[in-house]
Amino acid sequence: MSKTKKNWKKQLHEIIYEADTPAGKLFDVVLLIVILASILLVMLESVKSIDNKYHDFLNISEWVITILFTIEYIARIITVNKPTKYIISFYGIIDFLSTIPKYISLFFGGIHALAALRALRLLRVFRILKLARYLGASNNLVRAIKASRAKIAVFLFAVLIVAIILGTIMYLVEGEENGFTNIPRSVYWCIVTLTTVGFGDIAPQTPLGQFLASLVMILGYGIIAVPTGIVSAEYSNQNKTPSTNNPTPQVHLNSQSCANCLASKHQDGAKFCHNCGHPLH
Amino acid sequence: MSKTKKNWKKQLHEIIYEADTPAGKLFDVVLLIVILASILLVMLESVKSIDNKYHDFLNISEWVITILFTIEYIARIITVNKPTKYIISFYGIIDFLSTIPKYISLFFGGIHALAALRALRLLRVFRILKLARYLGASNNLVRAIKASRAKIAVFLFAVLIVAIILGTIMYLVEGEENGFTNIPRSVYWCIVTLTTVGFGDIAPQTPLGQFLASLVMILGYGIIAVPTGIVSAEYSNQNKTPSTNNPTPQVHLNSQSCANCLASKHQDGAKFCHNCGHPLH
Amino acid sequence: MSKTKKNWKKQLHEIIYEADTPAGKLFDVVLLIVILASILLVMLESVKSIDNKYHDFLNISEWVITILFTIEYIARIITVNKPTKYIISFYGIIDFLSTIPKYISLFFGGIHALAALRALRLLRVFRILKLARYLGASNNLVRAIKASRAKIAVFLFAVLIVAIILGTIMYLVEGEENGFTNIPRSVYWCIVTLTTVGFGDIAPQTPLGQFLASLVMILGYGIIAVPTGIVSAEYSNQNKTPSTNNPTPQVHLNSQSCANCLASKHQDGAKFCHNCGHPLH
Amino acid sequence: MSKTKKNWKKQLHEIIYEADTPAGKLFDVVLLIVILASILLVMLESVKSIDNKYHDFLNISEWVITILFTIEYIARIITVNKPTKYIISFYGIIDFLSTIPKYISLFFGGIHALAALRALRLLRVFRILKLARYLGASNNLVRAIKASRAKIAVFLFAVLIVAIILGTIMYLVEGEENGFTNIPRSVYWCIVTLTTVGFGDIAPQTPLGQFLASLVMILGYGIIAVPTGIVSAEYSNQNKTPSTNNPTPQVHLNSQSCANCLASKHQDGAKFCHNCGHPLH
């Protein structure tokens, strides 16, 4: 590989993967606008009245965006040292899935709605907006949620068992004539009620059913306190005890990502990737 | 009783009641799958369209599961030293209730839905998944909920009184022509609204009724803060003060249960039951 | 006044107003059952189908309860040293209001539903169940709610202003053809949505209206955190700092009440009323 | 400018802008009543049945209030040293917008509902009720909300992405025949469900859709804990650490505002504006 080519690849890598240089920032902002436009397009296309009026315009715009995404996807593969690592990474898969729907629609049509996965691309916005800073600050939050995870899972599992038991009882009490046509539907109603969503498409009609529903609601009202209590207490704890897992919270992390292994969150002024030791440019 | 027979009982006890040996683990995993399958069966049977198509298959599967549960129930009784203790224990009653519905349906039919009680059997999953560890960690949570219990009960009692008063007022204001046909139904509506569930099957139609409903909703919005605040503050407290009730939180508890008294949560390496002194194998 | 009569009054006072002697406890439990029965009666009477069937039984039961309440009310006035103080006290007014509806219905009928005020009498249950202890423990909660009151009021006032502004905007956007027939109704819808109750009797139909509704809901979702956060933080604070307003939390309070001034919450073993100095028997 | 005129302006400024003198307090209370009356008028006017009956009365009252607001607006401009500063201030714009709708309706009609912006004028109530004290106390709350802002924004952004993804999936699963007519509408439904509002105007009908909806609801139930946890933990923190940004919380602030620069929250006994150095009268 010639020196010039390597340099050209380096520069492109800097533009595409980093947000520190003006060119890199511009690229990211343009990309963000294209992503937002593409999501808007998919949404508008699903509205019949708009699709009928502006079908050709929407179709052409879709193709323009698909081609832009294709170029970006290929550029990302070329400029990275280990393309397979990018391809099987989280963003690599999202980039691929958000590019292909239009190509597939050429042959099959219909599964076009897959394009809505482009919304996941919006996660990139966090990098552009220098949200690394905010996220650094909210590391405590992430750790609090992680610390609460197991307990909330046990809790939700218990809620599910309660929903199955109560759903079956409601099925027996209300019966098919009041909308509780089968047990899965009753369990669905029970979850709707326990979570205080309350659509009202199914609602108890018999006095006994309404009495039981009241108990379910008060139960749901009481237990909504539990996950909230867990998270806020854990979060409070994380703030108090400077965890040993996070000894350097003052270090400012930049948005650079390594050309070799795609690891990001390098410290300002770092010369080598903290993950693979590859030099950072 | 011959030595061989006792040994055979011991081995079976180890397989059925414990999850530490490979055989015991396999037994528990198989049991869990059978329980999940049985719950799915009961649910599917209640869906008319599925029951019509696959009635015979569902019926035979039900019998297979019922026979498996019967064998398990008998095996549990045989291998335990004090069968009556098992039979009147929480899991003993659940095991019995989740086995008999199919037998009863032979003579009566109809009350088959009792089978949904099998969902309670899912609680066994906590033992298999070595959730003892998680539960050990969430002992603080259990203690926080216990500490909050009395206050939340007083609080819910106050909410109930509020619901009865406001429900009666709404009955007087809205009257029968707007769906508030009687006081119990109005109280039901009031609970639906205070808990922010809001089905919408009954909704105030008069301006005065809507004004009062607004007050009820804002009240409900304000008081939902109270149980949440109680739990999170108590949970926070439990984390701070290492309670004297829990002096040895570091001890690792295993999933073994005593053959004599069914007590579980023995320490790793324990040779005798902490409850009755019976040797553990 | 003869010594005997005074003694007889003292004994009756002890039975009616206190829950420490067996006779006093029995009186309170019987009273509680009568109150619960009376509330059930009022509720059942409002259900047409039940009233048609059992009208005579319900009517006679109502009269029995009304006479019992009348006797209790008169006994309370007689045995207290300062009857006017009882009559204008909180419980005095409730006792009066829960007794008269049946008498009024003799002349007018119709406003019988006032009888539902009897639910307020249930507050007596706290005394009987020795809830003084629980309430003593939850004094922190009461103080936390008091400390949060001003902030929650400011907060709810801000929510109300938001509801008026957003309600008017929704009225302009959705218009009368979609159920937002006037501004008060739109404001009502806005409160229903902000509090996450969501009846669904009024729901936006236009795309713009649904977009705005989404913003309202996310706003409501965000601000529900505020009162909860206030209460739990205040409650947490109350637990930490032993407030100077509550220097003797360990003292056990009994359910006795003074015959002279009706003050309650005397310490165990107290010989004189802490409020008026009258001897306690 | 003559000395007398200046004095006259000073006195009027004291009445209009301050709430410390009896005249100033009276002015503010009268203004508050007029504002409340004007909001009530706009609301009543939108109710067809009331407008038909009392059209002339409502119209005249509207004109009276508009003229009162006009006088107040002009008086505020005259008595302030720097009128442009007032005109482009928050309250200046609100005062202007709440005065003009009736004048505009002379020429156009229809956009009269703009008058509902008068609700924003209610914010003045905080000054009159000496809420400065309460707000001073709830400075911790304001700071807690500010500290939580970035995290809650990130959180709500994540919720929005989840709503777009799940909304699209529901559109594919339920389809147009069950009310999920297009993706924006599905996303709207998803926000309604995630926030536990649950109107029920759109509700899943297929078993798969109801299963997915259950997951959405349990997800929403789980994540409602996050913003609440953030706010309560931050608020708890604010209470503990006396922030360096707020070194003098004990100073009593009065409701005076500077005639020169409109800055308010002067300390009691302050002789010069803390913002521009202009003498306070």
Q: Is the CB of residue C228 less than 8 Å away from at least one CB of chain A? A: yes
Interface check A220 vs B, CB under 8 A = yes
| C-beta of residue D246 within 8 angstroms of C-beta of residue D270 | no
DSSP string, A20-38: SSHHHHHHHHHHHHHHHHH
The span from the CA of D196 to the CA of D190, in Å, is 10
Residue pair B271/B259 in contact by the 8 Å Cβ criterion: no
**What are phi and psi for residue D121, nearest 5 degrees?**
-60, -25
Decide if D200 and B196 are in contact by the 8 Å CB cutoff: no
Res B141 pLDDT > 80: no
B200 touches chain D (CB under 8 A): yes
C199 touches B: beta carbon within 8 Å: yes
CB contact under 8 A, A200 and C200: yes
Predicted pLDDT at B109: 58
Q: Which fold has domain D135-239?
A: Helix Hairpins (1.10.287)
Asked if the Cβ–Cβ distance from A232 to D225 is below 8 Å, we say yes
Q: How many angstroms separate the CA of residue B151 from the nearest CA in chain D?
A: 20
Ranges in chain A, pLDDT < 70 = 1-6, 19, 108-142, 238-281
Q: Assess whether pLDDT exceeds 50 at residue B168.
A: yes
With CB atoms and an 8 Å threshold, state whether B200 touches A196: no
What is the mean pLDDT, run by run of 10 residues, along chain C of 281 residues? 68 78 82 84 84 89 90 89 86 82 72 63 59 53 71 75 84 85 90 88 89 87 73 70 40 54 55 60 52
In this complex, is the C-beta atom of C240 within 8 Å of any C-beta atom belonging to chain A? no
Scanning A18-37 for CB atoms below 8 A from D yields none
- Residues of D with Cβ-Cβ distance to A185 under 8 angstroms: 207, 210
Put simply, the answer to whether B233 touches C230 (Cβ < 8 Å) is no
Q: Residue B195 is nearest to which of A203, A221, A230, comparing CB atoms?
A: A221
Nearest CA in chain D to C194: D197
Q: What is the pLDDT of residue A172?
A: 82
Identify which of D150, D224, D230 has the shortest CB distance to residue A235.
D230
Residue D246 confidence (pLDDT): 38
Q: Which of B146, B155, B173, B182 to mutate to test the interface with C (most CBs of C within 10 A)?
A: B182
Please tell me which residue, B247 or A56, carries the higher pLDDT value.
Answer: A56
Asked if A201 and D200 come within 8 Å (Cβ–Cβ), the reply is yes
Cα of A137 to nearest chain B Cα, Å = 22
Distance in angstroms between the alpha carbons of the first and the last residue of chain D: 18
Instruction: Say whether A229 and C232 touch across the interface (CB within 8 A).
Output: yes
> Is B196 in CB contact (< 8 Å) with chain D?
yes
Taking all residues of chain B, what is their mean pLDDT, rounded to a whole number?
75
Q: Which residue of A has its CA nearest to C233?
A: A232
Instruction: Indicate the fold that domain B2-130 takes in CATH.
Output: Four Helix Bundle (Hemerythrin (Met), subunit A) (1.20.120)
Q: What is the pLDDT of residue A39?
A: 82
Q: How far is A22 from chain C (nearest CA, A)?
A: 34
State whether residue C158 sits within 8 Å of chain B by CB. no
User: Which is higher by pLDDT, D212 or B267?
Assistant: D212
Q: Tell me which of C30-44, C230-244, D49-63, D233-247 is least confident.
A: D233-247
pTM for this entry? 0.76
Tokens 């010069």 found at: D272
Nearest to A240 by CA among D228, B239, D249: B239
Question: How many other C-beta atoms are found inside a 10 Å radius of the C-beta of residue D262?
Answer: 20
Among chain D residues, the shortest Cα distance to C191 is held by D197
Give the Cα separation of B201 and C201 in Å (integer): 8
Calpha distance B279→B259 (Å, rounded): 9
D228 in Cβ contact with C225 (< 8 Å)? yes
DSSP A280: P
Residue D209 CA to chain centroid, in angstroms? 39
| Contacts of range D62-71, beta carbons closer than 8 Å, 24 or more positions apart | D62/D38, D62/D102, D62/D115, D63/D102, D65/D34, D65/D37, D65/D38, D65/D41, D66/D99, D66/D101, D66/D102, D66/D103, D68/D34, D69/D34, D69/D38, D69/D95, D69/D98, D69/D99, D70/D99
C107 Cβ neighbours under 8 A, 6+ residues apart: none
Is residue D218 a contact partner of residue A191, using CB atoms and an 8 Å limit?
yes
User: Do A154 and B134 lie within an 8 Å CB cutoff?
Assistant: yes
Q: What is the pLDDT of residue D213?
A: 92
Average pLDDT over residues B37-62: 86
B49 contacts chain D (CB < 8 A): no
Q: Is C156 on the interface with D (CB under 8 A)?
A: no
ipTM of the complex: 0.73
SS3 B206: coil
Contacts of D156 (CB under 8 A, 6+ apart): C218, C221, C222
Chain D CB within 8 Å of residue C230 CB: yes
**Whether C123 and B197 lie within 8 Å, measured CB to CB:** no
For chain C, report the end-to-end CA distance as a whole number of angstroms. Answer: 18
pLDDT at B210 over 80: yes
| CA separation for the pair B39, A121 (Å, rounded) | 39
Q: Does D172 touch chain A (CB under 8 A)?
A: yes
The Cα-based distances of A26 to A44, A128, A264 in angstroms read: 27, 10, 19
**pLDDT attached to residue A190:** 92
Which position has the higher pLDDT, B150 or C186?
C186
D183: distance to nearest CA of chain B, Å?
25
Whether B106 contacts chain C with CB within 8 A:
no
Rounded to a whole number of angstroms, the distance from the CA of B136 to the nearest CA of chain C is 24
State whether D199 and B199 contact (CB < 8 Å). Answer: no
Chain D residues with beta carbon closer than 8 angstroms to that of B197 = 198
Contact (CB<8Å) A116/D165: yes
Nearest chain C residue to A230 by CA: give it.
C232
How many whole angstroms separate alpha carbon C38 and alpha carbon C36?
A: 5
Query: Does residue C7 belong to the interface with chain A, where contact is any CB pair within 8 Å?
Result: no
B161 vs C120, C194, C234: nearest CB: C120
- Say whether residue B198 is in contact with chain A using an 8 A CB cutoff: yes
pLDDT (0 to 100) of residue B251:
40
Q: CA C244, CA C255: separation in Å to the nearest integer?
A: 24
CATH 1.20.120.350 positions along chain C are 2-130
In this predicted structure, what is the pLDDT of residue C249? 37
Q: Does D269 touch chain A (CB under 8 A)?
A: no
D222–A46: do the CB atoms touch at under 8 Å? no
Contact B196, C193 (CB under 8 A): no
User: Alpha-carbon distance B160 to B171, whole Å?
Assistant: 16
Where in the sequence of chain B do the CATH 1.10.287.70 domains occur?
135-239
Chains touching chain D through at least 3 C-beta pairs below 8 angstroms are A, B, C
pLDDT in tens, C74-106: 998 988 888 888 888 888 888 888 888 788 777
Residues within 8 A of A (CB atoms), B 52-71 only: none
Cβ neighbours of D113 in C, within 8 Å: 168, 171-172, 183
C-alpha Rg value of chain D to the nearest Å: 26
CA distance A228 to chain C (A): 9
User: For B67-99, how does the pLDDT look when each residue is reduced to its tens digit (9 = 90+)?
Assistant: 998 998 999 898 888 888 888 887 788 888 888
Q: Residue C211 pairs with which residues in a beta bridge?
A: none
The pLDDT assigned to B236 comes to: 72
- Helix, strand, coil share of chain B (percent; to 5): 70, 0, 25
For A110, the closest chain D residue by CA position comes to D172
> Cβ of C227 and B222 within 8 Å?
yes
Q: Do B200 and D199 touch (CB under 8 A)?
A: yes
Contact D233, B236 (CB under 8 A): no
